[in-house]
Amino acid sequence: MTLPTVLIADDDRSIRTVLTQALGRSGYQVRSTGNAATLWRWVEDGEGDLVITDVVMPDENGLDLIPRIKKVRPDLRVVVMSAQSTLITAVKATQRGAFEYLPKPFDLRELLAVVGRALAAPTEPIISVPEAADSEERLPLIGRSPSMQEIYRTIARLTTADLTVMINGESGTGKELVARALHDYGKRRSGPFVAINMAAIPRELIESELFGHERGAFTGATNRSQGRFEQANGGTLFLDEIGDMPPEAQTRLLRVLQEGEFTSVGGRQPIKANVRIIAATHRDLRNAIRQGQFREDLFYRLNVVPIRLPPLRERVEDIPLLARHFLERAREDGLPAKSLDQGAIDRLRQHSWPGNVRELENLMRRLAALCPDEVITADAIAPELSEPASAPGQASVAAAAGNGPETLSSAVERHIKDFLAAHNDGLGVTDVYDKIIAEVERPLIRLTLAATRGNQIKAASMLGLNRNTLRKKIRDLEIPVVRGLM
């Protein structure tokens, strides 16, 4: 029996050696080359059962080779590896017909698993996907951490499938940006992208916003109005903060997903729904289901492809790249050019980033506008990021127990313990999570509003929250808003 032969093209000799050894040990025959021309010759001569190619090679870009390979040998699988590791590389590799894309550095076990799958998978007709016209333009998503790489690969895989996606992540992690990338690189990119934030719309208006209403459907409905479902026809509907959707709207949405059509509020005529749904939330929806706040059947309809966007503190390696990117953006917008020294970068990496990428973006803009020096240092950043636990020289509250300064987390811990002790029979309370979060959120928002003298735009920016999200929280937590008097 002849063993499958793997053709490797990479101009880095050490990579060729490592791959040749690993594949050889696993029983494959291997041929390797440092340039694209030799690889092409082998392919034309009918050699090899699988190709593993790098992107940047001295004579030709590996990505440009894929369509040519697919033309002469449609069944030959191509695995692309790249150190560039951007969303665009992942998307291009997939659109041009690569079987898999592996950002460098990768784990050899992962590579072997991909090779095994590539050789075992039944051959399918090639689906050639027209490439997005703007793929040479600016990168939509910044970050090279392993968790972002995984997200790029998922987005790339989804360029050929119109599946429903559920994005979960804290506020400011880039959920909307991912939703847009899914649309912009997906099959429906020539259609509209329509976003609606459930947290920003009064509950009683959500159904009419989504599905439209007929004239006279309710008091104030003086004209027929199109809903977002109709506006997104042929494109993508982004349902942001889906966890805040009221129960009746959830039921209606579920019906649309099941039946593929909907009726407007007050209407009778069913309208065909031709939209791809991407939903997002910062909430733990499984918890919301347990508490009876979210329909389980709707969750499973939406959670076809789950994408979890990690908070920034879980991918600190992306911080320098993101920070520089935002300074560059600020410069493009006419603010003075600034750079960060190593101390500043280290300081940024230490921060816990409750507001995630949005918070980092706002900080960089603020520094670009206000920092008097061209090189931003740790000292310039420290006052902007003062955290009670780590900032030296800050007044700390004496701990109630008397041993050491009290930090925010020890105060919260004490409070939670007291709360649980008071309810330790486990009866009568079912919303400890929401209650405790509200206890922290209420003073946080009230004091930030006080610090900005009631300016909600500034407060939202400081908190790293969406303005509409802040407004909703103010309403839900019943925080008094008195401009300039707080």
Ligand X SMILES: Nc1ncnc2c1ncn2[C@@H]1O[C@H](COP(=O)(O)OP(=O)(O)OP(=O)(O)O)[C@@H](O)[C@H]1O
Contact residue for ligand X among 358, 368, 380, 470 (CB under 6 A): 358
Binding mask 45-84 for ligand X (x = CB under 6 A): ----------------------------------------
Applying CB under 6 A, the span of 33-41, 72-80, 122-130, 136-144 interacting with ligand X comes to: 136-144
Our measurement of the distance from residue 313's CA atom to the centroid of its chain's CA atoms, rounded to an integer in Å, reads: 14
Please tell me whether the peptide bond between 320 and the residue prior to it is cis, using omega within 30 degrees of 0: no
Which residue number, 255 or 324, has a Cβ lying nearer to ligand X? Answer: 324
Which residue number, 185 or 262, has a Cβ lying nearer to ligand X? Answer: 185
Which residue number, 212 or 310, has a Cβ lying nearer to ligand X? Answer: 310
Provide the 8-state DSSP code for 10. Answer: -
Cα distance between residue 208 and residue 214, in whole Å: 9
Is residue 142 close enough to count as binding ligand X by CB under 6 A? yes
Is residue 92 close enough to count as binding ligand X by CB under 6 A? no
Cα distance between residue 418 and residue 401, in whole Å: 14
Which residue number, 115 or 179, has a Cβ lying nearer to ligand X? Answer: 179
Q: How far is the CB of 472 from ligand X (least distance, A)?
A: 11
Residue 478, CB half-sphere, CA atoms under 13 Å: how many? 1
* Residue whose C-beta lies closest to ligand X: 174
Q: Are 98 and 75 in contact (CB under 8 A)?
A: no
Joined tokens for residue 317:
């390696």
Which residue number, 432 or 457, has a Cβ lying nearer to ligand X? Answer: 457
Please tell me whether the peptide bond between 105 and the residue prior to it is cis, using omega within 30 degrees of 0: yes
Applying CB under 6 A, the span of 10-18, 93-101, 335-343, 353-361 interacting with ligand X comes to: 353-361
Is residue 361 close enough to count as binding ligand X by CB under 6 A? yes
Contact residue for ligand X among 56, 112, 129, 177 (CB under 6 A): 177
Q: Which ranges of 291-341 does DSSP label H, i.e. alpha helix?
A: 296-302, 319-332
C-beta neighbour count of 319 within 10 angstroms: 22
Interaction residues for ligand X, span 256-295 (CB under 6 A): 282
C-beta neighbour count of 290 within 10 angstroms: 13
Which residue number, 172 or 227, has a Cβ lying nearer to ligand X? Answer: 172
Interaction residues for ligand X, span 380-409 (CB under 6 A): none
Applying CB under 6 A, the span of 76-84, 165-173, 218-226, 422-430 interacting with ligand X comes to: 165-173
Is residue 141 close enough to count as binding ligand X by CB under 6 A? yes
Which residue number, 176 or 346, has a Cβ lying nearer to ligand X? Answer: 176
In DSSP notation, 403-437 reads SSEEPHHHHHHHHHHHHHHHTTT--S---HHHHHH
Which residue number, 56 or 177, has a Cβ lying nearer to ligand X? Answer: 177
Residue (of 103, 98, 93, 99) closest to 147 by Cα position: 103
How many residues of this chain interact with ligand X, rule: CB under 6 A?
18
Contact residue for ligand X among 95, 159, 171, 293 (CB under 6 A): 171
Which residue number, 174 or 212, has a Cβ lying nearer to ligand X? Answer: 174
Residue 372, class by beta-carbon neighbours within 10 Å (0-12 exposed, 13-18 middle, 19+ buried)? exposed
Cα distance between residue 94 and residue 226, in whole Å: 36
Contact residue for ligand X among 47, 176, 261, 346 (CB under 6 A): 176
Q: How far is the CB of 38 from ligand X (least distance, A)?
A: 37
Q: Are 460 and 200 in contact (CB under 8 A)?
A: no
Counts for the chain of helices (H) and strands (E), in that order = 20, 16
Is residue 239 close enough to count as binding ligand X by CB under 6 A? no
**Angle (nearest 5°) at CA 235 between 230 and 240:** 80
Contact residue for ligand X among 172, 212, 227, 235 (CB under 6 A): 172
Cα distance between residue 354 and residue 171, in whole Å: 8
Joined tokens for residue 199:
């947290």
Interaction residues for ligand X, span 447-486 (CB under 6 A): 465-466, 469
Residue 398, class by beta-carbon neighbours within 10 Å (0-12 exposed, 13-18 middle, 19+ buried)? exposed
Is residue 245 close enough to count as binding ligand X by CB under 6 A? no
Is residue 143 close enough to count as binding ligand X by CB under 6 A? yes
Q: Interface residues with ligand X (CB under 6 A)?
A: 141-143, 169, 171-177, 282, 357-358, 361, 465-466, 469
